[in-house]
Amino acid sequence: MAKFVDSTSHTFDEYLLIPRHTSEKCTPDRVSLKTPLVKFKKGTKPALLMNIPMVSAIMQAVSGDRLAVALAKEGGVSFIYGSQPIEKQAEMVYRAKRVKAGFVDSDSNLKPDDTLADVLALKEKTGHSTVAITEDGTSAGKLVGIVTGRDYRISRMKPTTKVKSFMTPKDKLIYAKDGATLSECNDIIWDNKLNSLPILDKKGRLTGMVFRKDYESHKEHPDELLDNTKRYIVGAGINSRDYKDRIPALVEAGADILCIDSSEGYSDWQKKTIEWTRKKYKNKVKIGAGNVVSAEGFRFLVNCGADFVKVGIGGGSICITRETKGIGRGQATALIEVAKERDKYFKRTGIYVPICSDGGIVYDHHITLALAMGADFVMLGRYFARFDESPSERVNIGGTYYKEYWGEGSTRARNWQRYDMGGKKGLSFEEGVDSYVPYAGALQDNVRASLAKVKSTMCNCGSLTIPQLQKNAVITLVSSTSIREGGAHDVIQKNKNISK
């Protein structure tokens, strides 16, 4: 007969935090959201430490190279999706890692034989007025000139006019050599009253651009997450099928951390993947694993050598694993059990293994609850899919803008490496849906608003750090009536239509 767990499985919405004493020093501006990304020994610092407890989900509709840079600027990590050819994923990682704090790849590029019409079309597409002209029209080609809005007059030039006839040629440009510091580049910009500064290698190839407007932007991101060369920290998802080919390509591209992407991680597939990685790279390559919903699942992955463990099965907004397979657990209950086991493991071994709460986050306060329940950080899909920087298309439906959002277990994703159990037929049934989420604008604005709420709630709980929150928080279960009481009720809200 099956073993039965008598206790009820709960979600985040069934819990509330009870306020603790808030001292005068406990203010949001003093709250630190720093949190470990990988395991470490007691008394030492983790090799990777995030400045905010947020990572983006390993999904086609969420984590591309553009979002990876945007999230790293805020202090978190994006795991670029692996359900694509190895070469394409490695290229995404490479592009994100090429972006140096204050340095950017030129994403507006043309060839000398292109036309004014091409310049105008590119400006319409990117919104950028500065266009780098390279021999092959790529962002890494040999620079031959620059075109800005000062180089042409639409009313007096034919659309067919060749770029080479009106661009500012390289011999009249001021540029910096590859290896120059950001401070040096900014000095050149200010001393010469420039709006942009190309960076060239010894062969004259374009390696990046520094813009005057980015000077203030750089100052606006005090929490940006950088490696020791001032490049953004970037993660990447892998699977337990082609890892022997995919991992070397991602490491070569510069990925700082990997994570096995699977709906259920308590398996020999993940064990073999981690063991192979450790044998080939020792501890130089960091790798997370999951997902699990029990203490024994956590122990299994930790014993395999995982650097962090993801918790959660079936709680994602587009996930239908529980419906199709009948497996999973309420996210809060799963997280609480795994966190207890993580603390026991730390006490016994002196090794702290971070856990990531993946799924079940609907409201911003659920992030705080997840942290209080023991999570070191949360992984979010729907949340990030809503932003400008996600890879999906923005669509207008009935006058309202949405972003496309689909699960990795959906037919659209065709991610057989994640869900298939090794057969030849590939994906035999779906575990995710294809959907839309309300468009929400820029990542920076939304992340900062969400974390402002997290910091405020932490102060209500008398905590200035995540470890303090985990130690001091008092959490209570609530009834369905209490949940209803928590929102606006028994009133007619002014922003609702009222019949006259």
Q: Which residues are part of the catalytic machinery?
A: 319, 418
Residue 173 burial (10 A CB sphere; 0-12, 13-18, 19+): middle
The count of other CB atoms within 10 Å of the CB of residue 165 is 12
Q: Do 285 and 330 meet the contact criterion of CB atoms below 8 Å apart?
A: no
Asked if 130 contacts 147 with a C-beta cutoff of 8 angstroms, the reply is yes
Q: What is the dihedral of CA 391, 265, 430, 9, to 10 degrees?
A: -100
Structure-token pair, residue 469: 């929150």
* Beta pairing partners, 232: 226
- Do residues 293 and 338 touch, judged by C-beta distance below 8 A? yes
| Spatial separation of the C-alpha atoms in residues 292 and 308, rounded to whole Å | 12
Q: Are 414 and 434 in contact (CB under 8 A)?
A: no
Contacts by residues 363-368 (CB-CB < 8 Å, ≥ 24 positions apart): 364/449, 364/450, 364/453, 364/454, 365/453, 365/457, 366/12, 366/13, 367/53, 367/54, 367/450, 367/454, 368/17, 368/453, 368/454, 368/457, 368/458, 368/469
Whether the CB-CB separation of 342 and 298 falls below 8 Å is answered with yes
